[in-house]
Copies of this chain bind each other. A is one copy, B any other.
């Protein structure tokens, strides 16, 4: 299912190929986020034009709306959203912990209220698996508790123990009900900022033997060095022949830094979210199109933007953004996704040609210098 065929000599970066029921994914890969069954403002044809290899869907949102019976009626998420490429779905846990109101964590699962209408709901390893099997995602994520940041060792240890029991239950339900030729199951390493817990988590999950391993409990407000440390504390204990996925991350420079630490897969709402607020990623940091200085700028967003955006000037995009025109956020969304996806493409090529160290160094230093001068 996963094959590593090139390894960087100066870092843990590697080239891989992930085989799914809906196509082969070249890694390192970035997965655009389609929370409610739609990568915001982007059509399936545009995702193909952007060469998106795999996208992410959110179990929690899709479970609430349109609901499982509707998804089943349409034969799964692929057909429902008219996307024939691979899909990874999260377990729903992260959203329950971050979105819902009153929630109560029990051994069996989590009781909570829908953030939409307050309906009492219950999510457990078995329910999460059942939803993800109905969604038909190519990659299913085990159900975990995502502890907050910061998190003391006591809470983190108890949370991890529960998460390990939940992941084992996820594994069991999946083995009994899923078709392993259609769907793969990934585990999630937890343990907060505690190195020994990360190690324990990774080792126990590897014993259970999953199809891939994610680093969870990141992108929860921690500083960048804690984010990197969570990866560094997990990767050494994960098998070389299974894909590794850092959840919910990150800025472009952080992605390269995590590739160097052995991560193969990423997802993040940043490129699509900041686009809707008027911001574009470039090699030299971000551009905020609400800024008056772009009003008469003839240049395209950047020299290597996507063909779909290439004919549009910065001045026009600023006009669209300040006037609230949908085309503005569409163009920036396409540009930012192209930026992330082509960054991964360049990283893959750099690993293929044994030039990743130089590529990483020059991209990261230029991007960070740009960020310092223009601000976030």
Contact = CB atoms under 8 A, between A and B. Distances in A.
B80 A41 contact: no
A209 to B, nearest CB: 36
Contact of A296 (B73, B81, B296, B330): B73
A43 interface: yes
A315 B74 contact: yes
B312 A82 contact: yes
Interface residues of A, number: 37
Interface in A33-59: 36-38, 40-45
A42 B81 CA distance: 20
Given A80-B313, A80-B316, A316-B80, A327 B66 contact: no
A315 B82 contact: no
Contacts of A119: none
A44 B296 CA distance: 20
A169 to B, nearest CB: 30
A295 interface: yes
A315 B66 contact: yes
Contacts of A326: 38, 40-41, 326, 329-330
Given A322-B65, A330-B326, A70 B315 contact: yes
Interface of A: 36-38, 40-45, 65-66, 70, 73-74, 80-82, 295-296, 298, 308, 311-313, 315-316, 319-320, 322-323, 325-331
The 6 closest A-B pairs by CB, nearest first: A41-B326, A82-B311, A38-B325, A73-B296, A66-B319, A38-B327
